[in-house]
């Protein structure tokens, strides 16, 4: 009897984690649809390509998990996906009409030869440091 209760609890935890995963994907899509301000700039920025990628991933998850989800999980993914798809259509329409600003493109590499730059960029070092800061261990 105790084993059944443990399994039920872990299924509930798994369901909650699945819903959290769907919400994280949705937040990423909303960020790139300009609905959530960019944490670095404080402004909403539109990147339809990345937004579409996250929306397509949610659609793939919905298709691959069809028939294996609880009613709550099914409702969450269905509603989230339809809301994001509608927002994508609206933002892409506004983007074509010139009402929204696209996300700033990364600055292109300079055309100067590499020999003129004596020091390598410090970015790879700081990236590895930030990775070290945010690693998470789930036990030994």
Ordered by where they begin, the domains of the chain are 2-98 (1.20.58)
How high is the pLDDT of residue 104? 53
Number of residues that this document lists for the chain: 140
Q: Residue 111's pLDDT is what?
A: 46
36 near 4, Cβ under 8 Å? no
Reading the chain (140 residues) residue by residue, the pLDDT tens digits are: 555 555 556 888 999 999 999 999 999 999 999 999 988 888 888 999 999 999 999 999 999 999 999 999 999 999 999 999 999 999 999 888 876 555 555 544 444 444 444 444 444 444 444 444 544 555 54
**Do 88 and 48 touch, CB atoms closer than 8 A?**
yes
The per-residue DSSP string of 46-103 comes to B-HHHHHHHHHHHHHHHHHTTTSS-HHHHHHHHHHHHHHHHHHHHHHHHHHHT-SPBP
What's the whole-model pTM score?
0.63
pLDDT of residue 96: 86
For 111, residues 6+ apart whose C-beta sits below 8 A from its C-beta are none
Residue 50 is predicted with a pLDDT of: 95
């Amino acid at each position: 009897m105790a084993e059944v209760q443990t399994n039920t609890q872990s299924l509930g935890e798994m369901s909650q984690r699945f819903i959290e995963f769907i919400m994280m994907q949705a937040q990423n899509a909303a960020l790139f649809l300009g609905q959530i301000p960019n944490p670095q700039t404080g402004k909403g920025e539109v990147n339809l390509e990345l937004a579409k990628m996250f929306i397509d991933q949610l659609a793939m998850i919905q298709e691959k998990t069809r028939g294996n989800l609880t009613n709550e999980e099914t409702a969450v993914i269905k509603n989230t996906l339809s809301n994001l798809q509608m927002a994508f259509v609206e933002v892409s329409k506004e983007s074509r009409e010139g009402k929204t600003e696209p996300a700033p493109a990364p600055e292109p590499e300079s055309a100067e030869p590499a020999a003129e730059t004596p020091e390598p960029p410090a970015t790879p070092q700081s990236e590895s440091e930030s990775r070290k800061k945010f690693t998470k261990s789930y036990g030994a």
